[in-house]
């Protein structure tokens, strides 16, 4: 049986989420559904991101996943595995840096 991850949000990610316009919010919700079921879903284009240190485990990578693509200021999710098994912590929801 596939693992469905439990999502947690940092305060910063929650603030970003709460401030999203309705059109962006719908896209973020879709990306979060994919993330919960399969963090490596092809539509997310998940890859390691080296610009942020992992606050949960400094020896583990931070990942970037696409919310949008080929759009000016395309939104991204930055996330890490943990703190527990079957958990993902969303660090930020922001336009592409």
pLDDT at 73: 86
57-72 as b/e, with b when 16 or more CB fall inside 10 Å?
eeeeebbbbbbbeeee
- Overall size of the chain counted in residues: 97
pLDDT at 70: 85
Determine the distance from the C-alpha atom of residue 25 to the mean position of all C-alpha atoms in its chain, rounded to a whole number: 13
DSSP-derived pairing of the beta strands 62-66 and 75-81: antiparallel
The pLDDT profile of the chain, 97 residues, written as one tens digit per residue, is: 577 999 999 999 999 999 999 999 999 999 999 999 999 999 999 999 998 999 999 999 999 999 998 888 899 999 999 999 899 999 999 998 6
């Amino acid at each position: 049986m596939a693992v469905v991850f439990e999502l947690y949000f940092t305060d910063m990610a929650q603030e970003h989420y709460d401030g999203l316009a309705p059109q962006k919010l719908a896209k973020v919700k879709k990306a979060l559904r994919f993330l919960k079921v399969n963090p490596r879903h092809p539509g997310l284009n998940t890859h390691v991101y080296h610009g942020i240190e992992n606050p949960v485990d400094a020896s583990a990578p931070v990942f970037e996943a696409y919310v949008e693509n080929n759009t000016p200021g395309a939104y991204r999710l930055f996330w890490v595995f943990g703190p527990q098994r079957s958990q993902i912590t969303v660090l930020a929801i922001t336009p592409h840096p």
